[in-house]
Amino acid sequence: MEAASLPAGLELVAGGGVGLSPEKRAVLGSSLLLLQRDYRFERVWFWGCIQGVRGAYYIAEGLGPDRAAPRSRLYSLNCVEWNLLPPATKEMVAQAEQLKGRFQGDPSFEYANPEINAEDAEGLIEDGKELLIKEEARLVATIEQIDRAVGIIPRGAFVKTPLGSVHENRNFEGLSLTEAKKLSSYFHFTEPVNLKNKTLLEKADLDPSTDFLDSLEHDVPQGSWTVQLEKGGTVVVLRSLLWLGLTFYHVPMTKQYGYVYFGTGEKNLDLPFML
């Protein structure tokens, strides 16, 4: 969610029982603006919070002119001092998927690599190679996984130019209430997968400037999203059941929308058995 509209955005997602204390909101409101100035970001989003056993990671994302370009991610343990995270790699994501259990809240904490068996481990120790995965790498990979799976935007909020760059749509005035209640009105804000597999006939009715992403209606498993009306029917709220803690809000007929994550950073692997 936008750093500039953080207090209002947090109020709109508070129906799920998560949020920040007034002190944390005040500190974040100031530090995110300083973060934007110091790193020369065009926009800063407050991504959310991953709660560990001994502490919490507060996450922010910095954006440049091209909204589809890789985002700079930063974390803080106290909402004041921010540390830049390295870009996520396929190896990081693959290793993080093997790790189980809660985050510790300590970036320097080290996990044993679960992909290496005992025999291989002995050989690697003799070679002097590192067998451990730092929690900071797991944090990077988890944020990447959540953004790919459940980071969403309303249809029409962004437009793709003929040159391929993605920008905010200045003409976007929000979805109607009827459209806002449909999963097909929301897109994954990441590289499309299903769109590439559609036939030319299926693409005939799509607008290439706005329909360049995958919609939520075909997410697997079916039923991994809940759509609710809150605040007297004035706010549409989507919650992910796959990554518990991810909440998206949109106020119909306005430009107010965003998502935030408050959780433990663990995927709900039991979801297929719960539906």
Note the pLDDT tens digit of each residue in 73-105. 999 999 999 999 999 999 999 999 999 899 999
**Type of residue at 118:** A
Q: How many residues does the chain have?
A: 275
Res 128 pLDDT > 60: no
pTM: 0.89
Q: What is the pLDDT of residue 4?
A: 85
Looking at the DSSP assignment, which residues form a beta bridge with residue 49? 58, 262
- CA separation for the pair 52, 139 (Å, rounded): 11
Averaged pLDDT score across all residues of the chain? 89
152-206 pLDDT tens trace: 999 999 999 988 899 999 999 999 999 999 999 999 999 888 776 776 666 677 8
pLDDT band at 124 (very low <50, low <70, confident <90, very high): very low
